[in-house]
Structure 1
Amino acid sequence: MQHLMADGFTYKPRQPVDWMVCDIVEKPARNAALLETWLGEGLCREAVVNLKLPMKQRYAEVRRLLDRIEEGFQARGVRVSIGCKQLYHDREEVTCHLRRLDVAKAARK
C-alpha cells in the first residue's frame, strides 16, 4: 500500500492499481464522478468510496447517484458490481464498494 499526498480529484496513477479508496469530505456527486472516472477509465479494478449524505431526502439522493453511476458505466460499456451500505456507526454517509467485472475477468486469463 502506498499513501500519496496529492489532490484526490486530479491525481491519476501512471499504471492501473488494484484498489482506489476515497473518504474525501466533499459533495457526494463529486465523489461519484471520481469513482466513475477511476473505474470507467480502468485506473483501478475495485473501489471503496464514502458518499456523504445530504440533510434531506437522503435515500433519494443516494439512489439518484447510484443510478447515474450505473448509467455512466453502461454508456462506456463497462460492467461493474455495486454494493452500497449505510454502516451503523456512521449514519452521515454510505459506503460503496464497486468492482469492475471485465477487468477482473481479463486478469484471471
Structure 2
Amino acid sequence: MLLNEIESLSLSGEQTVEAAAMWLAKRAKPGAIVVIKRGGDGASAWRDGEVTHVPAPAVAVIDTTGAGDTFNAGYLGALLDGATLEDALRAGVAVASAAIASSPRRYVSLDVALR
C-alpha cells in the first residue's frame, strides 16, 4: 500500500502517521507493506511489526508535481529488482528528490539511487 501522509490520516481517521500505519497494517494481509510518503521527511514503511524510515535529502524544490508517482516508480523498481525494504525506500526517495529538484525533470537510475 503506497499512500502519502494526508491519505493515510484521512483513510484511517487517526491523528498521527504512526497510528495511521498501525490502523492500515491491521487491515492488510499478513506480510503486506504499508508505505507512507512523508514529503520532506522522507518515507516510512511498516511490515509485520517492523518499521523502516528513510529521510529525504535537503533539495531545492522546483516542482513537486508527480513526486508521489515518481517515488512509487523508484520504490517498486528497486523492490522488483530484489532490494531490501530499506533500499527500496531509499531508491524511491532518491528518484523523487532528484525529480522535484529539476526542471526540466531529471531522474536518477536505480543504480545511482541505491548508492
TM-score computed with the length of structure 2 as normaliser? 0.30
TM-score, normalised by the number of residues in structure 1 = 0.31
Q: Which protein, 1 or 2, shows the higher relative CO under an 8 Å CA cutoff with sep ≥ 6?
A: 1
Q: When you count helix as a share of all residues, which structure comes out higher?
A: 2
Structure with the higher fraction of residues in strand conformation: 1
